[in-house]
Amino acid sequence: MTDVVKNKSDLIRSEAEARRLYTAPPKTYTGKVGLEVEMALYRPGKTRPDIPDAKTLTDLHAELKRKGHDAQLEASGVLEYASPPENLDRVGHLVAKVKTDMADFEQASAQRGYARAPMSIMPTTTVEQALDNKISRERLEASLQVIAEVLDPSLIRVPLLTTGVQTSFSPKTMDELFNMTYRGYGLTPLLIAAMNSSPPYVENDPKRLNHHLRGDFYNAYGGSGGLSQAFLKATDTESFIRNHIKAVFDAPMFFAYDHDGSLIRSTKDDVLTFRKLCDRGLNTLSNYELAETFLYNDIKICNLRDETGAVVGKRVEVRAADSGAHQPVSTLLLTAALVPDGKTAEKFDALLKAYGFTGDPATDAPLLQQARHDAVYHEGRFMDIPFGKDAAGKPRSLREFAADVAGLIVEHYAAEKALAPDVSRLADILLTGNCDARVMAAQYRDLGELTAALQQPSAAATLAAKRAPAHKPH
């Protein structure tokens, strides 16, 4: 959960004035990648898995912080791991660091009887169960109240039930920020499909589902979720930044900060926006930064902070991947190779053009929207869905695109022998279409079978069993 400093009293009087906030970080902060992983924890219960209560998670969080880890608390039953930033030419080192750090998280959890779920959503956890075990904090309580009473009540499932993996990139220029945003959205349908670890059941409901759960839940945010309309209407860097600033001014805010730092909640009759705050003298930098955090698009434009917490520029966060057993490393490998400017990114740009994407968001909006929709509402086809179009305007396939991406990934990491097993596993998913969700859907006939598997003490190891790659990097 993103925290914002409350006492930044400088005023943002207009959209034009907000433009000064959108700058690349100093050189010492650019060309880096970071990883965040949300981990759902569980243990066998009486009739279905239990999730940790607030005290257990708070104690676990404190222990990991004492050990020097950047651990964060999510709403309920979930810990978040954040890696240190690493140079893009040292992704192999970051992968090794992530594995070691996450093993510490898992060991500390295991000492309290909990395992990390190898899926993005625990199928047996209900909203009520999550609320009973939530970690009460001012921002969370305000957000949950406004979601339930003012906005779409179904949104409550996003913070309470879902987990994902995000990678962050620091751009050298604002043009690179635009380029990375474009590539991130071009990659999003594949990230949704290939990193899909959604179970076919949710909220302990025996009804079998055939869509990507997180992608569907995020649609309840409307224009503040999924594909950014600010991006889809852009034609270049400056138009994107202007559109994004306008979106920040008009984004529905769960709450805002009063002059004394207290919270003012949105109500049914008065849904707050930064534009409204301008008329009330509350158009502070703190509230502008807060308003930007209420945009939950698949690609987020966020503040980049230094070691002291001071904002030093903007970053790009790629958010579409599910959490799961391999997803942290697989997502890191995919995005670090394809999203930031570089030789492999140039090849990815050319590949997108071969699938009908011109590089102009406004022109490509229909293709991008259709591709995301098909990845989320796959109807049991998982990765066997349309993607893009050929020169004659006929649909191409995501499996074909995934195979092309696999070639880029294998080539990009060819010299890093220590990464070969991880690259092989990722290539296997891309080439076969056997994402975790597809394997899970085939393995368990109903919710009872999946629940019984999770109730076994070795469930996490069983469900996250290492796949033997069918394809080796060439």
109 membership: H or E segment, kind and range? helix 91-110
**281-296: per-residue pLDDT in tens?**
999 999 999 999 999 9
Query: What is the predicted pLDDT for the residue at 3?
Result: 64
Chain CA centroid to CA 232, Å: 19
- Spatial distance between the Cα atoms of 330 and 193, rounded to a whole number of angstroms: 13
**337-395: per-residue pLDDT in tens?**
999 999 999 999 999 999 999 999 999 999 999 999 999 999 999 999 999 999 999 99
Query: What is the predicted pLDDT for the residue at 381?
Result: 97
- Spatial distance between the Cα atoms of 197 and 213, rounded to a whole number of angstroms: 9
Chain CA centroid to CA 457, Å: 29
- Spatial distance between the Cα atoms of 460 and 43, rounded to a whole number of angstroms: 9
Structure-block tokens of residue 12: 């943002």
Residues near 236 by Cβ (< 8 Å), separated by ≥ 6?
178
Query: What is the predicted pLDDT for the residue at 467?
Result: 42
Query: What is the predicted pLDDT for the residue at 6?
Result: 85
Query: What is the predicted pLDDT for the residue at 308?
Result: 86
Average pLDDT per 10 consecutive residues for the chain, totaling 474 residues: 77 97 95 97 96 97 96 95 97 98 96 95 97 93 92 93 98 98 98 98 98 95 94 98 98 95 94 97 96 96 91 96 97 98 98 98 98 98 98 97 98 97 98 97 96 83 47 41
- Please list the residues that pair with 300 across neighbouring strands: 317
Contact call for residues 21 and 65 (beta carbons, < 8 A): no
Residue 270 DSSP symbol: B
Compute the C-alpha angle 9/3/214, nearest 5°: 135
Residues near 96 by Cβ (< 8 Å), separated by ≥ 6?
418
Chain CA centroid to CA 58, Å: 23
Residue 174's alpha-carbon distances to 181, 233, 350, 361, in angstroms, are 10, 17, 21, 16
Residue 82's alpha-carbon distances to 14, 102, 170, 315, 444, in angstroms, are 34, 10, 15, 15, 32
Compute the C-alpha angle 222/226/227, nearest 5°: 105
Sign (positive/negative) of CA torsion 47, 437, 375, 328? positive
Neighbours of 432 (CB within 10 A): 18
Residues near 61 by Cβ (< 8 Å), separated by ≥ 6?
71, 72, 73, 79
Residue 473 DSSP symbol: -
Query: What is the predicted pLDDT for the residue at 472?
Result: 43
Contact call for residues 411 and 442 (beta carbons, < 8 A): no
Contact call for residues 143 and 132 (beta carbons, < 8 A): no
Query: What is the predicted pLDDT for the residue at 463?
Result: 57
Query: What is the predicted pLDDT for the residue at 101?
Result: 97
- Spatial distance between the Cα atoms of 418 and 429, rounded to a whole number of angstroms: 19
Q: pTM of the full predicted structure?
A: 0.94
